[in-house]
Amino acid sequence: MSTVRTTLLTCDHCLLPVTDREAVYADGPSGKKVFCCHACLAIYEMIREEGLQAFYEKRDWRSFGIPESVRFPAGQEAGPPLIECETGRASVARDEDIQQADLMIDGIRCASCVWLNEKILERTAGVVSGRVNFATHRAVVRWDGTKTNLVRILSRLRAIGYAATPYTQSGHEAMLQKQNKDLLLRLGTALFFSMQLMLLSFGLYAGYFQGIDPQMKHWLQVASCVVCTPVLFYSGRPFLKGAVQGLRNRLVNVDVLISLGAVTAYLFSVYNMVMGGEVYFDTAAMIITLVLLGRYLENSAKRSASDAVTRLLALQPQEARVVWAQGRLMTAVELVKKEDVLEVRPGEKIPLDGVVLKGRSEVDESLVTGESRAVEKTTGMIVIGGTINGLGMLLVRVTKTGQDTTLAQIARIVERAQNASAPIQRIADRVSSYFVPAILLSAAGTFLYWFNNPATPGLSAALLNAVSVLVIACPCALGLATPVAVLAGTGSAARKGILVKGGDILERLHKVRTIVMDKTGTLTTGKMQVTEIRNAEFGLRNDQHETQNAKHETVQLAASAEQSSEHLLGRAIVQHAKEQGIPLLQADETRALPGHGIKALVQEKTILVGKRALLEREGVRFPADSIETAFQLEREGRTVVFVAREGAFLGMIALMDSAKDDAKNAVARLKRTGINVVMITGDNEVTAQAISKDTGIERVLSGFSPTEKAIEVERLRDSGKNLVAMVGDGINDAPALAAADVGMAMSTGSDIAIDSADVVLMKPGLSSVPEAVELSKKTFLIIRQNLFWAFFYNVAAIPLAMTGTLHPIVAAGAMAVSSVTVVANSLRLRK
């Protein structure tokens, strides 16, 4: 290769760094423009034609590049073709001629992207309206069906560099959204009426300090009652319902505590209002409002996490390329029938189970089987849907669709596992189950004391004092204690690249005593890498200094021969050479010998790279110790490639899917916090042992099928009576992820793994695992402190109620102070 000096430029559209030789140039009105590819140039021209260049001044991009599906090399077809079938998946709502659809738009990075998308939609003939939601990256488009169609609209967005796909809301999502809307209505109502109630209450408080006309007081109380009633019976309905349900199941949960406090306060106040005493309407309404606020905060944290997950999954459209007599057609996977022939291009995911009709390639089945080595596929061999095609093109005849595919079978196991794992009792429920009987007892004690007190004979004083104990005991800040801490905790996790799908998960995670980790793709990088090079001249020793040059030569020759190879091992060797800065030499007459290796002419000499069998067939003689060394390396879990020059054995290169850089550190950190780390894999014993040595994990379980993994996780849960977390990325891990108390999936993993996990780790490294555990411990500590402070002020006021000297102002004071304490304490997590 020539070594002409190159300078790095930046693409004017996508900000991608590009060398001056590869760049595409164009003349714009404001001088020469540079682009990384023709796609970016086309996008720039499109935006300029529409007169929307202002976008480039306004935008605030912190990352570069455009979505994969939009990029295409010069001269090739413009991205994946859009055809009618693709829109068959979208639910298009029709109202006479006007049609409406939801879109998911990939590539939105700033508010200006939203602006650009909306402007383009606006200027598309036939589009009635297009609104893009910045928070969710979703758009609602309405268009005139007689003038344009969805395909045309989608390709307009694609033309300006955004990948838009029709998007159908799942039932679960629609339910969540409805729940959220309902919660918002109840919370909003509670807030409005509580505000009115507070104004009225301030009049009453002032009356306490300065004296008040009894008639005026009465009217203020009546008004308070009017505004309190909807808060308790409309906004508080879910709690009342929950309490009734809980009591029916003989469970004392948070709802019981809240309802007990709010309802007694309300009834007590109504009685006092009529009889001319003090009222506690503000306490009743505040309890409900604060608990609702807490639930709303928690719900929105959950929603933003699940939005992020949905976005992650929507980026991988479930499509297949069907081969017809007329050509190829992109179709939704659901529409593919048995016996259809699919074309799978290099690097694509194989959509469905089938048999190879034509072509040869290496398929990465690690996501399904856990086996880290790619599997060679030729005509007549079975391929599994969800696996990733290597570098060859395959024609696949579909044998299984819908519920029969391997993927669907695993999905069913996941579902079963999810239904089987019972949710653990949340801490607030646990505390309530002790607290409610305690306050009932103290109320009973108060009643008995006053009932037998000769100074105040009769039922009324005893009953009033007993009820006032119940009124003051219910902590208003209880509803905020957990959600605010969870909100702060998940927010801080999200900033670290850890997506937590719900608050209870943080509560569960801190109790985890065993973490089960998948090997391929989780502990390891999931890619083959050169780990060792041995050279024959130096007796195959693994000595650093002496053999440096010889090693260099071995790699140089092997990489030169392999430079045009599409074999995964070959590419790994080329990659290694590039990383080491070893220049590649010109190779001629390259001949790939499928399944065996490669033969090429480098520097006029025949170079053979491949399996031992290939070299032996070509008459290469191996020194006696070389076989022994190769066996040794293979026992350590490596794949060995042999290199020969002019029929003479030169050396060998050992490759393996090695552990991630931070794996050892992460495992050590977890062990320090007293967590058992177990490795589980579908791969063989030998490779598993090698990785266990590199990462410091002592317990290794190898050769496990997806179902066995889930059963093993289940077994670990029962035997130790401890919570178990599972970290994985593959389809084969999904059942185990669902079975574990906390499932953690790598964001690079398969859709089904991400879907069945509770936590998604957005960073490729493993350091997020200990980080998540530490964060959950911190969050849980804060929750405990919050619960203490929520109860503290109210419990401290109980003696006042017992002695019959409780006043609404004390209840209001306790309410305010405990809420402020709880919120301030939670904010410490945001650091």
Three-state DSSP at 20 gives coil
Q: How far is the CB of 229 from another protein (least distance, A)?
A: 13
Q: How far is the CB of 134 from another protein (least distance, A)?
A: 4
61: DSSP letter: -
- Give alpha helix (H) positions in 654-705: 663-672, 685-695
Q: Judged by CB under 8 A, which stretch of 46-54, 73-81, 445-453, 618-626 contacts another protein?
A: 46-54
Q: How far is the CB of 288 from another protein (least distance, A)?
A: 16
Q: How far is the CB of 48 from another protein (least distance, A)?
A: 13
For another protein, the closer of residues 195 and 668 by Cβ is 195
Q: How far is the CB of 276 from another protein (least distance, A)?
A: 16
Q: How far is the CB of 148 from another protein (least distance, A)?
A: 22
DSSP code per residue over 213-261: -HHHHHHHHHHHHHHHHHIIIIITHHHHHHHHHHHHTT---HHHHHHHH
- Please select the residue that binds another protein; options are 192, 234, 271, 451, rule is CB under 8 A: 192
- The pairing of strands 498-500 and 759-761 is antiparallel
For another protein, the closer of residues 216 and 420 by Cβ is 216
| Binding track, positions 98-127, relative to another protein; x by CB under 8 A | -------------x--xx------------
For another protein, the closer of residues 112 and 687 by Cβ is 112
Three-state DSSP at 728 gives strand
Q: Does 449 bind another protein (CB under 8 A)?
A: no
- Please select the residue that binds another protein; options are 174, 195, 441, 796, rule is CB under 8 A: 195
Three-state DSSP at 398 gives strand
For another protein, the closer of residues 192 and 788 by Cβ is 192
Residue (of 380, 377, 375) closest to 397 by Cα position: 380
Q: How far is the CB of 807 from another protein (least distance, A)?
A: 18
Q: Does 494 bind another protein (CB under 8 A)?
A: no
Three-state DSSP at 476 gives coil
- CA-to-CA distance for 621 and 638, rounded, in angstroms? 22
Catalytically active residues are: 518
Q: Judged by CB under 8 A, which stretch of 212-220, 278-286, 360-368, 810-818 contacts another protein?
A: 212-220
- Please select the residue that binds another protein; options are 15, 92, 198, 212, rule is CB under 8 A: 212
Residue (of 417, 127, 435) closest to 252 by Cα position: 435
Q: Does 132 bind another protein (CB under 8 A)?
A: yes
Q: Does 174 bind another protein (CB under 8 A)?
A: no
- Please select the residue that binds another protein; options are 20, 25, 68, 134, rule is CB under 8 A: 134
Considering CB under 8 A, how many residues would be counted as binding another protein? 36
- CA-to-CA distance for 340 and 758, rounded, in angstroms? 36
For another protein, the closer of residues 108 and 573 by Cβ is 108
Three-state DSSP at 15 gives coil
Q: Does 211 bind another protein (CB under 8 A)?
A: yes
Residue (of 358, 361, 357, 366) closest to 399 by Cα position: 357
- Please select the residue that binds another protein; options are 10, 100, 133, 529, rule is CB under 8 A: 133
Structure tokens at 401: 């669709």
For another protein, the closer of residues 162 and 704 by Cβ is 162
Q: How far is the CB of 157 from another protein (least distance, A)?
A: 17
| Binding track, positions 215-244, relative to another protein; x by CB under 8 A | xx--xx--x--xx-----------------
What dihedral do alpha carbons 750, 753, 755, 760 form, nearest 10°? -90
Give buried/exposed letters for 151-175 (b at 16+ CB in 10 A, else e): bebbebbbbbbbbbbbbeeeeeeee
- CA-to-CA distance for 806 and 472, rounded, in angstroms? 8
Q: Judged by CB under 8 A, which stretch of 177-185, 322-330, 455-463, 696-704 contacts another protein?
A: 177-185
Phi/psi for 290 (5° steps) reads -70, -40
Q: Judged by CB under 8 A, which stretch of 190-198, 335-343, 406-414, 449-457 contacts another protein?
A: 190-198
Structure tokens at 602: 């480098």
Within 10 angstroms of residue 532's Cβ, the number of other Cβ atoms is 16
For another protein, the closer of residues 128 and 251 by Cβ is 128
403: DSSP letter: G
Contact 299, 180 (CB under 8 A): yes
DSSP code per residue over 90-141: S--EEETTEEEEEEEEE---SHHHHHHHHHHHHTSTTEEEEEEETTTTEEEE
What order do you get walking across the sheet with 597-602 strand by strand?
529-535, 648-656, 639-645, 605-610, 597-602, 587-593
- Please select the residue that binds another protein; options are 1, 8, 135, 275, rule is CB under 8 A: 135
Q: Does 52 bind another protein (CB under 8 A)?
A: yes
For another protein, the closer of residues 181 and 358 by Cβ is 181
Q: Does 631 bind another protein (CB under 8 A)?
A: no
Q: Judged by CB under 8 A, which stretch of 183-191, 584-592, 600-608, 793-801 contacts another protein?
A: 183-191
For another protein, the closer of residues 219 and 324 by Cβ is 219
- Please select the residue that binds another protein; options are 27, 57, 95, 213, rule is CB under 8 A: 213
Binding residues for another protein, per CB under 8 A?
Answer: 51-52, 54, 111, 114-115, 131-136, 181, 184-185, 188-189, 192-193, 195-196, 199-200, 206-207, 210-213, 215-216, 219-220, 223, 226-227
